[in-house]
Structure 1
Amino acid sequence: MGVPSQTSLAWATGPYLAVNGADLAGASVGSPFTVTLTDPGTVDDGVKFLLNNVYLGKDSTAPYQWTVTAALGARELKAKWDAAGSAQQAEAAFTVVDPNASPSPSPSPSPSPSPAGPPAVMAYGAPLDGASVPLAAFVASIANPGVVDDGISFLLNNAYLGEDSTAPYE
C-alpha cells in the first residue's frame, strides 16, 4: 500500500481524501493505495470515486474507501456524494511514484526524444497488441495519440470502460 510522503501534519478541514490518515492532496504515493473519504458528514447513498474523471466505483458503507491503482505521474482523485439532496465533492491532486526508486543524487541527462510513431495502446511501457499482461488489472495508455479533441474512449471486448480527456490518456 502506498504511503504519502508528506512531512507536515497540516490537516485539511472539512471532507478530504486521506491515505493512512494523511491528506492525499499534494502527496506522493505508491500504487496501489487505499483512499478514505474523511469527515464527509451526511452521505445519502454512498460515495463515488473517480480518477482523472474516470469512474472507479462506489462504496455504500462508511468508512468510505476505495483501492486505487494508477500509473506513475500526476493524478487527480475525486469523491462525490449527495448529502440531504445536495451534491458534495472532495478532490485531491497527487503524484504516483515508484516506492522502490531511490532518489537520484544528481540530475540525469535527458534522453533524446524518440521519433513519434503511429498511435498505439500500451501497457507496462510496451505495445499491448498481441502481448500478455501478468495481472488482471493494469493501466493501458495511448502512445503518440496525435491531436485529441474530445478525449479517448477505452473499450475491452467492445465494452466501454471509460474515457480520459487529458494527457497522458490512460
Structure 2
Amino acid sequence: MACVEPLVEEAAKKAAIAWLTVPGAGPSYLVWCAWLGGSLLVVSGPSEQAAPGLADATTVDVTLRGDHGGRIVTWTAAVERLDPADEAWAELVPQLAGKRLNGGTDLATRWAAECVVTRLTPVEDAPLAPMPDDSQAAPPKPSPATRLPKRPFRLHKVRNARR
C-alpha cells in the first residue's frame, strides 16, 4: 500500500462527504463517501448519487472539509472502478454497505447489479493543492424554486427597547 499523506488520511477517515472535481466535467460536486482500505469509496448510479464524468476519468481532485465546515485539503486521486468479481469488492463493499445509514437489506447485491463503486486512491508524490486566495464561492444556479423574500410577518408591533 502506498504511503498516504497524514493530513489526507486523517481528513478522509472523518469525512462522510467530499467534493469531486473531474477534469473537463464542469464544477465540483458533492458525494457521499467512506474511507476504507487506504482509499475513498464512492457509489453512483440509479437510485444512488450522480457522479458526472467520474466513470471516464483517470484522476480527480478530492476536496475534504474539517470539523469547522471549511476546506482542509485538496488532493489528486487515481480513479478505479471496482468489479464485483474482484477480491477488493468482497473485502470493501460489505464494509461500505455497513456504513450506509439508509441502505436497506442486500445493498451490495443491488450495487453489483445496478451501480458503480469507484475507488479513489491518493496519487503518490502528487502535491497537495495550496489554499486558494479567494473563497471559491459560486453564485447559486438559477432555479424556478427561488423567489424574492417578503418582509417578515409580525402579529404585533415591535416596541423599541430604547425608550
- Structure 2 length-normalised TM: 0.28
- Structure 1 length-normalised TM: 0.27
1 or 2 for the larger relative contact order (CA 8 Å, sep ≥6)?
A: 2
Higher strand share: 1
